[in-house]
Each structure stands twice: as C-alpha cells, then as structure tokens.
Structure 1
C-alpha cells in the first residue's frame, strides 16, 4: 500500500474521533517530536512522535495539535510552521496553515507562533488537560503547567479551567495495541522487508567479513526498498562472544572462523516496524555444541509461539518459552536441580535475563498495557502484534561451564499477529530451523 492509498482511507480522522469520545469533556494537547542535533549544526534525521503521527498523520516538526470535543469549530486544531520560501529552499517544502487544513483535515490551523494567543481559550472549557509530560521538563511542559496552575487562581470566579493534567497514554496505549487492517498490512510489509535483509546477511556473513559490513548491507536494503522505509532501530550484528551482549551495536569486529553470528535487525515500512533475530554459522554449518544450544532456543521459540493465542496473557508466552529454556540449561549442565527450583530461585537469569515478548507497531517496543492497574494480566486479543524472542547467553568467561559452550549467544525472534484462534507468524520469510539456516548459508558460500 502506498502512502497515498494509506491516507485515502483517512484512518487518522477515525482515530481522532475515538480518542475524542474517550476523553469526554477534556482537551488534549499533543506536541510534535523535537528536532535533534547530532553535532554543532548537523541535524539527526527527523522522526515524528508516534502518538502525534497516529492521531494526525502530520510529519513535520514544530507543530502542536489540540483536540477539543466541546468546540465543533476547533475539534482538531493544528499549529504549524508557516510557509517560508527562503527556509523551504534550505530544508524542503512545508504544509503550512493551508496544507494543515486541506491535506491533514484540521478544522482550524494557525502559525505555531500564535499558539500562546489561542491555547488558553481552547483549554479553558475543559475539565482536564490531556498532555504527556516529558522526562526532561521542556518548555512546552512548563507552558502547560503554567496554564493549569493559572486556572487555579481564577476558577472560583469563572467556573472554567481544567483541574489536572492527564496522560493521553491512558487512552492511546489501548487504542494503539489493537492494530487496524491498514496497520497490519504495513507491519507485514516491514516483516517481509526485514526477512529479506536477514537472508542477505546469512548469505554474506562469512569468516573475515566485518560486522559493520553486514550492518551496512541491512541498512542499505531497508532504506532502498521505498521512500518511506528504513531501519526500525540500530542493527545488532554480534559475532562470537559479542552475541552474548544483548544490545550490542558497536559492530566493529571481523567474524572469526567457526563462529556464530547473531543479527537482530528490523525494517521500518511507513512508520511500522519489523523486529527479527536470527543466528547463523559463519562456516555454513553449526558445530555440535552450537547446534545443541540452537535447538533448545528454537524449541523455546516454538513453545512461545504456541502460547500466543487470544485470551492468554502476554506473560504466558514468556513462561512457556522459559520452561523449555530452563530444562535445556539443566540438560546442558548449566543448572542443577529441577525446572521449578531454577525458576523459583531465578538461577536461570544468569543465562536468560530478559522477557520473551513485547508489542510491536509504530514503535519497536510499542504502546500497550501488559497488566491492569489491579495487576490483572491483559489478555491477548486479535489484532495485537508481538515479538517472541527467547535466548541463551553463555559468557566467554564462565569458567564453571564446559569450554565448548562458552561465548555462545543465541536469540531467535519472530513477529506474530494474534488471530481469532491463535497467531499468524509473519517473519518466516527467513528460515529459523537449523537445517534450513545452514542451507541458506551454504548457498551464499558456493
């Protein structure tokens, strides 16, 4: 689906209406993501805030959206950078005030410089202000706090003004966790593109090749696929013991003879993410010790996928995969005792220290609750998209472990869509079974 086709269904308007219904008599203010500087006057490539994009479709920085259920003429108001031919010569075309209305469906639009003039009046009739305070307390946060505290001094005379600030995530996280058909189509595209990248690095990842070269191959494939595609996150290419570092992104080592290569990489297709991890042998074939660990992790992956079905908690995916991994650790001699004992004591965390599933969508670790406020697990529902990613990581300096197992890190990750009767695995465009992985590697070395 092209960006034009995706927008033609106007999912953004439908989402705004659902959101407006949910906030009742409140007013929501959402700010675009800030522009970031890499060094001196060099910009980091801009990426819009996911919640802002989800409700507006607007891709430019320097914008604020105000959603007001009580005011039909300002139900959706955008404050944007105005058209500026001189600046646009340097940084590209802007939608401007007119484009905010014509192209993005705003009921009203104003230059961003006029925000202070209009914001108080838009917020004043509300009983609550829905605004996401940032972690660093920026100027927009200060403006919102001043407005709300200012009403405290006048409300007794006017009867107007919100009483508090509420986090839009309370509504948006639950909206975003169930994907619409158009979103699922984009996520499938991201998964397919991610799989093609993994196939390419399996074929290319021989001894002597630099981890950075495989990273460049992935990044190039993802970016070249479409004008709105790219990398969903920095690619992890860990050879040898580097695979035991969970978020290894240095990617500066050459692959050694007989080593495994762990690749955790995903494509972004029109704002939606893929997230795949595969491990392959640089030689084209797993050693006996490597294959033992690989098969355990593969069995855990299968168990986690089998647990991904409607009505079950996300934690059920983790528990199913963990049970297989812990039994495997005992079989390998990494742990002693029973599976139950190893889980109760958390002894397994020396070799498997992360959770097995997370939501996937506009963000790699996407929005959505895993538990209710009372601690009750949120059940899986059709339309949710998750990763399933068990792993085993044996440090190179684990002197109490058999030498042939040391320095091996294996994580296998697929993406699944929860369906009415189970789940759809959307990342098997790249194989995961050991024999099939070896076949791809051998093909690339012939």
Structure 2
C-alpha cells in the first residue's frame, strides 16, 4: 500500500471514529480544553490529503507521526469525553496525554535487560560458528468461536526476551567466536489493531526495550529469514514445537536450496536448541529466585486465605475463587496451572480440577494451587479440615505425610538427589502405614515390594520455574545430583481410595502437603514456608478466623 493509500485509509478511519463517538456535532463543538483540541485535530486529519508530487520519504515520516497521534487520541478522547459527561461539571483530573504513552504491556518482566542479554550470550557461546538459533513465540489459542484464551508466551521465548506478544521470532546469529548479533521479528504498529486489541511494541522501540540489535516486521519474515540464514552451516530449531514455525523455517531452507544459481546456500545441519536451553533454565539466577520467592509468598497468602474462608456448605469453586482473588490482589493475574480444590473423596484424585462439589462437615479439602508471577510459577499444596478440626484418623494420616515433608526439607541439599530423598520418604510412609494397620508385614520387605505404590503413586519432586513442571534432565529414576540454583517442589502424599481394603476410618482420605525450595550452597531455602502446615497450627488459624 502506497503512502497516499495509507493516508486515505487513515482519514476514512478517523471520520468513522468521530461518527462512532455517539455524540452529536453541536455537543462535540462545545468540548473545550485538551479534549476539544484533540477532537479538532482529528477532524483535520479526517480531511487529510497529500499532493502526489511531494517527497514520499518525508510523507512517510509525517504519516507515522500522525498515526501515532491518532492512536493516542482515539484511546483518550472517549475516556475523557464520557468521564466529563458523567462528572457533570467536567472535573475529571485526568489529563489527555499524547506523550510518553508507550508503557508497553508487552514487556512485563521483573528480570533486567542485562540478564536477558547474558542468557542470549550464554546460548550463543554454546552454538557452533556459522549458525543461527530460531526461537519462536507461542501462538494465540482460540477458546471458542472468536474469543481467545488469555495469551501466554512460550517459556523458552520469554526466557530470552521477556516479550509477551505473539507473532514473534528471536534469531541469534553466530558468525564466528567473536561476532554475533540478534534479530527480532515482531508485529508492526497498527492503529486499528491497537485500538481494538492493545498496544504493540513495533520495530522502532524493540532494540531499546529488549536489547536486541535490530527488529524486523514479522509480516516480512518469508522475505527476510532466508537471507539471514544464507551461507550459515547450522540452524538450531525446535522442530515439532509449533507447526507454524516449522512451515516458516522449512520455507526459508527450501528457498535457499533452490537458489544456488543466485549464490544462495542452505545450512547443511539442523539441530535442536532445547537441550542447551533447558539445561540453562534448570539453574536459576538471583534475579529469578527473587521473582520465584515472590510467587511463593503470594501463593502462600492465597492458601492462608483459603483456610480462613473455608466453611462447610461452601462449594469447591467458591474456595477456588478466594484463592484466585488473593493472587490478583498481589499482582499475579493468573494461576500457574489449573487450581485443584478436592474435598472428601475428590482429594484422592491427583489432578482433580472440576471443583464442583459441596464441601461437607467432617471432610478434608486438598488444595493444590500456585500463582504465576512475572512468568514464574508457585506450586503449593495444603490439606485441611473443612470444619477446622481434624478427626483422629485424618490426623494420623496427615502426620505421616507431614513427617515425610519435614524429613525431605532437612535432607535436600547439594550432593543429594530426588531419588535418595524419596527412599527416606518411602520408609517413613511404609512404617507409618504399618503402624496404623493399613499395611501388614516387615517394613524392609514392604519397601522392597514397593508396597507404598497404591497409596503414594506419584513422584516426590519436580523442577519448578517458568513452567510448573519445569524443564531439565532428572537422570535415570531422578538420580541427578542436586546443585545450588535448582528449584524444585517437595510434595509427599497419601491417598486411601474409598474402596481400599483398609480400616474403614481411613477410607477416602487424600492428603498432600507441598512446598517449593531452592537448593543453596549449604542446604535449601523454603520459598513457601509462610503458610502453616502443622495440624495444630492449621486448626488454630481456622479457629481464629471463625472468631472474627
């Protein structure tokens, strides 16, 4: 589209915008102050015209400035116009601002730009000379018809950019051991799209905001990517992750392979960057740990709120609402996974997310919930009595699980492994179940037979980070030796099926207790210790809340 066609389209759009304000012309004429001036400006733009003899480059620059002004004014005028009408006396204190409006929702990370640059350099250092790594953003996901799920960026793309827009690709190019550069493909600024769907970063702001060397329009990727890859030996690409990404990459390579007469040369090798990147992500930096510490704190506040608010007769989804409300209150917009609120027998379903049952007096409720804060996950589980008081049988099972957790927290440190600590937890569980008559036999023999499996059927721990089940190699049977900077969950549980062949008092009891820890030089730091977990403390907290 030529600059003249764009100018005509802009003028037409502004004219429709003014008509769509729903305010009569005489009333518009009476609007004063900055809002009135902006309306006059928009009227002039609606009559915009250019002489085709004018310099097109200068016109292009002028038009971009006008588009930026229209974008801001079109967002601000309705707000101020209707705010003044509602105020009666036009006393709105907000000022129409047409400067410094690019506070980007698309750049929302608490991680510094310097850290993102260090990560990119760390990946480049592992790449072969004459190579490029292509890291694609996640796609938007349709919820139903023309509505989408809230956008969630690819964790790998976020790890290197902190950039929260779709239709984006980070290209890291390593020419040799001393020369490399970064290119971002992202969406162009678009007046209409931004009015309807929100601001875009665009190409001009990307280098400063994200620390990349340059930015190109995503709409031009089929014309640009093959040129960036031309003459390189290796392309690093996560084949199979996104179908749209594969199509783009294969099209670029195909163009290079067919362009030998134009001196085009395709990379001879394609390899996956995920093993390198996921090993990097396994070790959290001090900045990451600070963000995860906050994610743990917010998640803990939500669990404390749930304990205080819980009453017999509530529905599980109402308690879920209390949890999400607390997340939102503290700046965490979304849970890091589907929240589990399982009361009674539902607590024996490991990933129960229906959350539809009424919570009954005398039952336990198991809550597995964590917030996502600045991209990083919290993951806590607490189990407590709906009425605030454990039954003797519930407390007996609970104390076995709690002892398993407390032992784990003492044992996890550099040099140990998840496998090693799990062995100690299994011993505690089997001994406890034998003591209650749920299992019969010699403890050592029962350990050898994995007799705990019907009651503890999941792993003790998983990595935690940008994903709730974060990336990184565990080693065979989770034997990898732990090192400082690794973050993991600790989540022992016992689940007695409603039809289990055990003493009746224990049937239908499901209990899990989970904390998040970071391995330190001398042991571990519990990121979620601020929510109570001893049975007496839970009962005291819930009793105090009922007195208010």
Instruction: Return the TM-score normalized by structure 1.
Output: 0.93
Instruction: Identify which of 199, 209, 212 aligns with 1:93.
Output: 199
TM-superposed deviation, 1:379: 1.4
Distance 1:376 1:355, change over 3 A: closer
The DSSP-based 3-state class of the residue aligned with 2:327 is helix
Check if 1:162 corresponds to 2:267. Answer: yes
Check if 1:19 corresponds to 2:130. Answer: no
Instruction: Identify which of 186, 192, 217 aligns with 2:291.
Output: 186
TM-superposed deviation, 1:365: 0.8
Cα deviation digits, residues 242-294 of structure 1 (max 9, x gap) = 00000001000111011111111101111111110001112221111001000
Instruction: Identify which of 77, 83, 86 aligns with 2:189.
Output: 83
The DSSP-based 3-state class of the residue aligned with 2:278 is helix
RMSD, aligned CA: 2.3
Distance 1:329 1:147, change over 3 A: farther
Check if 1:387 corresponds to 2:493. Answer: no
The DSSP-based 3-state class of the residue aligned with 1:349 is coil
Which protein, 1 or 2, shows the higher relative CO under an 8 Å CA cutoff with sep ≥ 6? 1
Cα deviation digits, residues 3-61 of structure 1 (max 9, x gap) = 88935452111110011101122311011010001000011000111110110111111
TM-superposed deviation, 1:434: 1.0
The answer to whether the 8 Å contact 2:335/2:370 transfers is yes
Check if 1:377 corresponds to 2:377. Answer: no
Q: How does 1:253-332 map to 2 (within 5 A)?
A: 253-332=357-436
The answer to whether the 8 Å contact 2:111/2:287 transfers is no
CA distance in 2, matches of 1:369, 1:406: 37
Q: Which moved more, 1:271-280 or 1:341-350?
A: 341-350
Q: Which moved more, 1:239-248 or 1:266-275?
A: 266-275
Report the equivalent of 2:535.
Answer: 434
Check if 1:35 corresponds to 2:35. Answer: no
Cα deviation digits, residues 276-313 of structure 1 (max 9, x gap) = 00011122211110010000000111122222110112
The DSSP-based 3-state class of the residue aligned with 2:502 is coil
Check if 1:102 corresponds to 2:208. Answer: yes
Distance 1:78 1:251, change over 3 A: same
TM-superposed deviation, 1:377: 3.4
CA distance in 2, matches of 1:164, 1:316: 40
TM-superposed deviation, 1:157: 12
Q: How does 1:405-420 map to 2 (within 5 A)?
A: 405-420=506-521
CA distance in 2, matches of 1:125, 1:338: 68
Distance 1:279 1:304, change over 3 A: same
Check if 1:422 corresponds to 2:519. Answer: no
Report the equivalent of 1:10.
Answer: 114
Report the equivalent of 2:315.
Answer: 210
CA distance in 2, matches of 1:16, 1:6: 17
CA distance in 1, matches of 2:445, 2:230: 58
Larger Rg: 2
The answer to whether the 8 Å contact 1:417/1:425 transfers is yes
CA distance in 2, matches of 1:376, 1:57: 30
Cα deviation digits, residues 177-221 of structure 1 (max 9, x gap) = 111111101101011111110011101112111110010011111
Aligned residues: 439
Check if 1:60 corresponds to 2:162. Answer: no
The answer to whether the 8 Å contact 1:76/1:106 transfers is yes
CA distance in 1, matches of 2:267, 2:460: 41
TM-superposed deviation, 1:326: 2.0
Q: Which stretches in structure 1 are left out of the alignment for 5+ residues?
A: none
